[in-house]
């Protein structure tokens, strides 16, 4: 099997960090999304969504969407990490917080960055005002995340899960990509971010 990726992108980083946590190595094929390598007919024939990351299995079948790829490896790899949760309640909490972090944080941040920078204006309509509004929505979400981390060691539970991987990518993206001073403004996020950053899989 192999993974097609653009290593620097948030979605590809999510898969890489997840695999690092499981101790799994998979051959990678690096493609350049900015140059439109994912827009070729050859790539689109493999990827339902035309995006990276894309996992191609040995039988030629493929899986796209980063969380789906993570779920696949979680199922096939014997491990005690339980990154999608252990108990029924924890699994539900992981699903709940994952969707909150994705929809209110990460995806909103993507919209802000893409529309403010017009980085992909060769393939999508960019609206600066929507980018500004999306960035405001990211700012409005951060106090909720900080409050959650004031009352929980990690985002979804008192244990590290895939939600912390996604939230880590979101916070880093907000801090660096959107130039929001997250770690300076929110002490609970900073405490958690430093804790997650110290994990061996994140080195």
Query: Domains of the chain by range and CATH?
Result: 2-76 (3.40.30.10), 88-202 (1.20.1050.10)
pLDDT at 198: 98
Q: Taking residues 125-144, report their average pLDDT.
A: 98
Average pLDDT over residues 156-160: 97
| Residue 11 binned pLDDT confidence (cut-offs 50, 70, 90) | very high
> Which one, of 116, 120, 127, lies nearest residue 173 by Cα?
116
Contact 102, 142 (CB under 8 A): no
Could you read off the pLDDT of 55-106 as tens digits, one per residue?
A: 999 999 999 999 999 999 999 998 899 999 999 999 999 999 999 999 999 9
Scanning the structure block, which residue is given the tokens 């893409």? Answer: 114
Return the pLDDT at 74. Answer: 96
Q: Is-cis flag, bond preceding 53, omega within 30?
A: yes
Residues 6+ apart with CB under 8 A from 138: 105, 108, 109, 112, 174, 178, 180
Tokens of 169: 């990518």
How many alpha carbons lie under 13 Å from residue 94 in its C-beta half-sphere?
Answer: 21
- At 78 the pLDDT is 84
Mean pLDDT of 173-185: 97
How high is the mean pLDDT of the chain?
97
- Nearest by Cα to 15 from 133, 165, 136: 165
Output the pLDDT for position 167: 98
């Amino acid at each position: 099997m192999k993974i097609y990726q653009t290593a620097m992108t948030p979605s590809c980083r999510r898969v890489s960090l997840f695999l690092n946590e499981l101790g799994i190595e998979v051959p990678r094929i690096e493609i350049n999304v900015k140059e439109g390598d994912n827009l070729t007919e050859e790539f689109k024939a493999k990827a339902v969504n035309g995006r990276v990351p894309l996992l191609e299995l040995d039988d030629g079948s493929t899986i796209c969407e980063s969380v789906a790829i993570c779920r696949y490896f979680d199922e096939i790899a014997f491990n005690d990490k339980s990154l999608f949760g252990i108990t029924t309640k924890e699994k539900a909490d992981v699903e709940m917080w994952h969707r909150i972090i994705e929809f209110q944080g990460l995806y909103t941040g993507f919209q802000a960055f893409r529309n403010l920078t017009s980085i992909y204006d060769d393939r999508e309509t960019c609206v600066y005002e929507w980018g500004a509004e999306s960035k405001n929505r990211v700012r409005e979400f951060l106090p909720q995340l900080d409050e959650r981390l004031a009352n929980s060691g990690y985002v979804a539970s008192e244990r590290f899960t895939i939600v912390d991987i996604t939230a880590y990518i979101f916070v880093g993206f907000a801090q660096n990509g959107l130039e929001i001073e997250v770690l300076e403004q929110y002490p609970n996020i900073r405490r958690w971010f430093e804790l997650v950053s110290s994990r061996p899989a994140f080195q």
